[in-house]
Structure 1
Amino acid sequence: MKNVSQAAARVYAQALFDIGLAEGSVGQIYDDLHAVFDALNGLDDDLLTFFYLPQFRRDEKRRILTLAFEGKIGRPVLGLLNILVEKRREPLLDNVVEEFDQYVDQHEGRAQALVVTARKLDTELLAALQAALEQRTKREVVLTETVDPEVIGGLRVNVGDRVLDGTVRRRLQDLRRSFAAIQR
C-alpha cells in the first residue's frame, strides 16, 4: 500500500493531528486511535471482514461502529471511522494509525529505529547503539530489535526513511555486483 493510498492515509492522519493540536488532545486521540486499532485487530476474521469489505452496507457499518465505540472514544476518531466507512476507505485505518504515530513522534522529538541483526544483541550494545543514533539524529530514539538470520552478520538500522546497512549479506551482494561488472 503505497503512493495514492499512503498519501490518503497521511491526509487523514494530518487532519487528526491538527485537530489534536488545536484542541490540546493529541494524547487522547493517540489513545483512542490505538484502542480502535487494537479492538478491530482483536476481532475474529468474520467481523474484521465485515468492517473491511465494501459489499456490506455503509449505514450498517456506521451503526455497529457507533454501538461499539460511542462514549468510549472521542469525537475526532469516531468521525474518522465514519468518514473512512462513507468513502469506502476502511483498509486505510492501519496506515492512518502508522502515519499519526509518525506525526506524534516528530512533534515530541522522537524517532523510531528498527535494528535488524543475525542474532539478538546484548543490552549494553543496544544502549550504545541507541546513544549513537540519538547523537546523530538529535532526537530521542526508540529502538525495536528484530532478528533475521539471513543478514548473516552486522546490522541494518532503519530510522525514518534512512537505512544504514552494514550487514554481511549486503556486502556479499555488493561483491557479486562488482564481480559481475568485471566479467562483462
Structure 2
Amino acid sequence: MAQSSPATVARPYAKAAFQTALEEKALDSWSQTLALLEALVKEPKVSAYINDPRHSEKQLAEKLISLCGGQLEPKAVNFVTLLAEHHRLPALDQIHAQFEAAREAHERRVEVEVVSAFALSDEQQRKLADALKKRLDREISITTSVDDSLIGGVIIRAGDTVIDGSLRGRLAQLESSLNV
C-alpha cells in the first residue's frame, strides 16, 4: 500500500484549522498556536516521545498540551487531541505551512525572499517590493539575505515562483546551452 505524502496528509487538517480560524476571526491566534506546536514537535526530546509507540494517543495529546503551558484555546486543545488520535502530530510542520499559505492567499499577501550578491539598500528593497506588488497583485513582505557566491544579481522566491536573475544562474544557463 502506497503511503501518502506529508503534504497530502496535512491538507485536511490545515484546511480545518484555517476554516476554524476564519470563523473565529482568529487567524493570528491560530497562526501562533500552530507555530508553537510545530516548534514543540521539532524538539528532539518531544519528537522522540511522539514517535515512541509505548505512548497512547491520549498520552501524546496530554503531553503536548501540557508543554504549551495553558496557552491553547479549547478548540486548539481539541485539534491537538484529534491530531494525536489520527497519528498526525509529526505532520504539524506541513499543517502549519499549508495554514500560512491559505492565510497569505486569503489576505492577498505573499512572503518574498530575496537573496542578492550584495546588501540591498532600503530604496532598492522598496522599489523591488513595489514592482513585485504590481506583478503578483499581492501585498509583499520582503526578507533579504546576502550570498556572495551569486557573483551579481538576485534570486527572488515568492511562494512557488523562483526568479533567478543572478550572474551565477545566468552562467549556469549559458554552460547548459553550450553543452547541448
TM-score (norm 1): 0.84
Matched, 1:21 2:22: yes
Contact 1:29 1:76 survives alignment (8 Å): no
CA distance in structure 1 between the aligned counterparts of 2:167 and 2:154, rounded to whole angstroms: 8
Q: Residue type of the partner of 1:55? A: P
Q: 1:49: Cα distance to partner?
A: 2.2
Structure 2: distance between partners of 1:54 and 1:88: 12
Which residue matches 1:32? 33
TM value normalised by structure 2: 0.85
Shift of residue 78, structure 1, vs aligned partner: 2.1
Q: Which piece of structure 1 moves more, 158-167 or 57-66?
A: 57-66
Residue 104 of structure 1 is matched in structure 2 by: 103
Q: Which string of whole-angstrom CA distances, capped at 9 and with x for unpartnered residues, describes residues 25-82 of structure 1?
A: 32322232223334555x5x3234213x143412321221233347421233222322
Letter in 2 for 1:133: L
Amino acid corresponding to residue 147 of structure 1 in structure 2: V
1:140-163 deviation line (CA, Å, top 9, x unaligned) = 101111222332211111111111
Structure 1, 145-154 or 160-169: larger mean CA deviation: 145-154
Q: Name the CA distance, whole Å, in 1 between partners of 2:110 and 2:39.
A: 22
Unaligned runs of 5+ in 2: none
Write the distance in 2 (CA, Å) between the matches of 1:30 and 1:123.
28
Structure 1 residues not aligned, in runs of 5+: none
Aligned length: 176
1:180 paired to 2:152: no
What code does the residue aligned with 2:9 have?
A
Change in Cα spacing, 1:46 to 1:170, as seen in structure 2 (3 Å) is same
1:63 aligned partner: 62
Question: Quick check: 53-62 or 109-118, which moved more?
Answer: 53-62
Contact 2:155 2:166 survives alignment (8 Å) = yes
Equivalent residue number for residue 133 of structure 1: 132
1:36 partner amino acid: L
Q: Percent identity?
A: 27
Q: Deviations over 1:116-158 (max 9, x none)?
A: 1123212211111111111111211011112223322111111
Q: Secondary structure at the match of 2:93?
A: helix
What's the CA shift for 1:24?
2.6
Query: What is the aligned-residue RMSD (CA, Å)?
Result: 2.1
Provide, for residues 78-131 of structure 1, a one-character-per-residue CA deviation record: whole Å limited to 9, x for no partner.
Answer: 223222222222221111111111111111121111111123212211111111
Q: Compared with structure 1, are the counterparts of its residues 175 and 135 closer, same or farther at alpha carbon in structure 2 (3 Å cutoff)?
A: same
